[in-house]
Structure 1
Amino acid sequence: MKTIVITILGKDQPGLVDNLAKHVFAHKGNWLASNFAQMSGQFAGFVEVHVPHDTHDALINSLNTIEDIHVQSVSAIEKTSPMPQQSMVINVLGNDKAGIVQELTAVLNQQKLNIRSMESCCESAPNWGSLMFKATIVIDVPEEFDGDDLIEALEAVANDLVVDISTYT
């Protein structure tokens, strides 16, 4: 079996995921994981698929024929034995400002932390009339990692930023 990661992007419309699933199933693929979102009328997502070696190329060619969406696929590289890691979930809340994502990710990069997933949004703050930035970031950290320095560095991005490390997994 080969692992393929598929990305899709296109105008949101009913049936996109079903169409993709039909192509995967027709080539004996096993749908392992996916993550989809709709933003500003566009649909984007990622799918991880296991496919037999003998249908791999045919699935890639088939995916490239899907109309109305842009599809990219790459064969995943087998992981070597990773260093022991754990995941940390960081919740961030503060007034929105241009550059906040760059500043937050720069702090994580400076500490050589890998972002596993990140969800963010801006919402109207009740009674304030301004936008609030919210993010949930899952990062990989070494087992002996102390999150206190990270919280301090992230909160230094803005004086109103609240950072909470809510769980270790």
Structure 2
Amino acid sequence: MKPIIFTLVGADKPGLIESLAKTVYQYGGNWLRSNFSHMAGHFAGFVEIDLPEEQHQALIDAFNAHPDLKITLMSAAGREAKFPNTAVINIMGNDKPGIVQEVTGVLNQFNINIRSFDSVCESAPNWGSELFKAQAVIAIPDDFDLDTLAERLEHIANDMVVDIDLQQ
């Protein structure tokens, strides 16, 4: 078995995930993990599977024939390193350009890897404006000083008038 990752985007309809899962199973694959969302009127996601290497091309050909989705496959490098230390950053505030750029810029300054990042804009109750909410899970090296990171995040939170909460 060799890991393979595929991304997909297309018009949504009932049964899409079931048809993908059936195809993966038919070619001897094992569905390891996935993430799907509706974005900008489309269905989008990514999936990691284990698949016998001799079946990779057959699965690619089967997916290329899928009538409703654009699917891209790539081989995975193998099992990813596990990070024993993680922290969670929660962000919330009135939506404005630059929130994600500011937060990820700070993380990049500290050479911090983002493990997952989920965000949404929704109508703020009683305010009528858009509220931006995000959660990032970050990998923390063993000897990392979280207090310094928290101070930098607090600084940009004050500048942008958003709440940023860092939790280990």
Can you give the 5+ residue segments of structure 1 that lack an aligned partner in the other structure? none
Q: Deviations over 1:93-135 (max 9, x none)?
A: 1221112111111111111111111111122222333222111
> Residue 121 and residue 83 in structure 1: after superposition, are their counterparts in 2 closer, same or farther (change >3 A)?
closer
Quote the residue 1:154 is aligned against.
153
Matched letter for residue 164 of structure 1:
D
Number of residues paired by the alignment? 166
Cα shift at 1:14: 1.1
1:25-104 equivalences under 5 Å are 25-78=25-78, 85-104=84-103
Distance in 2 between residues matched to 1:12 and 1:108, nearest whole Å: 34
Q: SS at 1:156's partner residue? A: helix
Can you give the 5+ residue segments of structure 2 that lack an aligned partner in the other structure? none
Does the 8 A contact of 1:155 with 1:161 survive in 2?
no
Distance in 2 between residues matched to 1:132 and 1:100, nearest whole Å: 12
Distance in 2 between residues matched to 1:83 and 1:5, nearest whole Å: 18
Matched letter for residue 94 of structure 1:
G
Quote the residue 1:164 is aligned against.
165
Does the 8 A contact of 2:2 with 2:78 survive in 1?
no
Hey, which of these two has a bigger chunk of helix by percent?
A: 2
Distance in 1 between residues matched to 2:110 and 2:9, nearest whole Å: 32
TM-score of the pair, normalised by structure 2 = 0.89
TM-score of the pair, normalised by structure 1 = 0.89
Distance in 1 between residues matched to 2:82 and 2:38, nearest whole Å: 35
Distance in 2 between residues matched to 1:35 and 1:55, nearest whole Å: 23
Quote the residue 1:115 is aligned against.
114
Does the 8 A contact of 2:114 with 2:136 survive in 1?
yes
Matched letter for residue 44 of structure 1:
A
Distance in 1 between residues matched to 2:40 and 2:82, nearest whole Å: 39
Cα shift at 1:2: 0.7
Cα shift at 1:151: 2.1
Distance in 1 between residues matched to 2:52 and 2:107, nearest whole Å: 37
Does the 8 A contact of 1:84 with 1:143 survive in 2?
no
